[in-house]
């Protein structure tokens, strides 16, 4: 059985159904990030109520704490987290990249010091396959060499070629399983490298493909252009996942070039800074104008926060230092991005995606100017 069933198209945008061991997922889809096996401040039941179909957890962090053996003893990550939906685990490559001062990379893999206690560890393509099998996630990512923005083409080529060799090793290490494994395309902002990488990975016939190494400091327009290049090259019948992208504008633009899946800490990070995402743009709850505004965050939203609480109440809670405020806005922001991708799907299916795309982007463009 293929991992993805495509149901409709709107230009390059796609509506589909991703098949996992814990149920089908309607795409396009946004995945909230639970780095440590927990989406910050939001319970599994609240994620379900917000419409979340699939959440992301971090193999690097779970490997260090509490460790894969304990999670396996609990019955796998779903049981450990108390989450009934699907789970994608990333390989930990980006975390090692982001903690570069503690790590080094060679052709064998990553060698790093724990950011918790300084103990030494290594990740190889094979060990990361085994780690995620022990976690029993629905979707596992191969180990990749994530290069920083601004590197020259020779450095980007070295990173891309290493990523390809690691993907080949990971593919050889896979055993028959219901777990889907995705490869990751690298190549920085160099179009020929991106095309070469995608074609080579395509030949390895993974269940799905991720686009990595973008939104790490390069210009946004370059990121969108490289996502479009990868979508041109990756298999039409396989899911495409753009890693670490979560602003409404970027999600809308990248759905338009053919991306199916997104993840980011953006909605919960915004919430902790009193920033709410709404259909008319971003709303800063620390602004004085919200102190007496008894409207919900977004009158079009049906989430728990918008059904029960006003902007004035949330603004009060932020000023008073109440942690409930960040929790409620996190729930709303996640629900907003879930609803955004569902609206995109509906527009694709109904043949009006181009108009929807332009309308949505105009609201956030006005927000940026305001």
Q: Reply yes or no on whether 117 is catalytic.
A: no
Helix (H, G, I), strand (E, B) or coil at 111: strand
Beta-strand pair 120-123/139-141: unpaired
Q: Catalytic residue among 90, 138, 260, 298, which?
A: 90
Q: Reply yes or no on whether 205 is catalytic.
A: no
Helix 220-233, helix 191-203: angle, nearest 10:
30
Q: Catalytic residue among 144, 145, 250, 263, which?
A: 263
Known catalytic residues are: 90, 263
């Amino acid at each position: 059985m293929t991992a993805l069933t495509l149901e409709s198209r709107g230009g390059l945008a796609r509506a589909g159904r991703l098949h996992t061991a814990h149920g089908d997922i309607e795409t396009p889809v946004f995945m909230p990030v639970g780095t440590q096996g927990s989406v910050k401040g939001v319970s599994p039941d609240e994620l379900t109520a917000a419409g979340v179909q699939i959440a992301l957890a971090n193999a690097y962090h779970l490997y260090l704490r509490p460790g894969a053996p304990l999670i396996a003893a609990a019955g796998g990550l779903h049981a450990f987290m108390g989450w009934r939906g699907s789970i994608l685990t990333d390989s930990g490559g980006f975390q090692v990249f982001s903690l570069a001062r503690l790590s080094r990379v060679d052709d064998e893999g990553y060698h790093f010091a724990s950011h918790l206690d300084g103990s030494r560890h290594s990740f190889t393509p094979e060990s990361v396959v085994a780690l995620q099998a022990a976690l029993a996630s629905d979707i596992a990512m191969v180990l990749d060499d994530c290069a920083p923005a601004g590197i020259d083409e020779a450095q980007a080529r070295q990173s891309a070629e290493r990523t390809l060799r690691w993907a080949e090793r990971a593919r050889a290490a896979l055993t028959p399983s219901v777990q889907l494994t995705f490869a990751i395309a690298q190549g920085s902002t160099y179009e020929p490298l991106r095309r070469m990488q995608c074609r080579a990975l395509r030949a390895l016939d993974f269940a799905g493909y991720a686009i990595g190494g973008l939104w790490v400091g390069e210009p946004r327009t370059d990121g969108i252009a490289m996502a479009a290049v990868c979508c041109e090259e990756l298999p039409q019948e396989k899911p495409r996942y753009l890693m670490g992208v979560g602003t409404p504008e970027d999600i809308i633009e990248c759905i338009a070039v053919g991306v199916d899946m997104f993840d980011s800490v953006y909605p919960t990070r915004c919430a902790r800074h009193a920033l709410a995402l709404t259909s008319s743009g971003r709303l800063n709850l620390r602004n004085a104008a919200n102190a007496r505004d008894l409207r919900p965050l977004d009158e079009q939203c049906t989430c728990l926060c918008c059904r029960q609480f006003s902007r004035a109440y949330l603004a009060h809670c932020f000023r008073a230092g109440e942690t409930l405020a960040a929790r409620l806005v996190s729930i709303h922001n996640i629900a907003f991005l879930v609803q955004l991708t569902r609206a995109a799907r509906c527009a694709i299916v109904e043949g009006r995606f181009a108009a929807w795309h332009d309308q949505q982007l105009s609201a956030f463009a006005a927000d940026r100017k305001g």
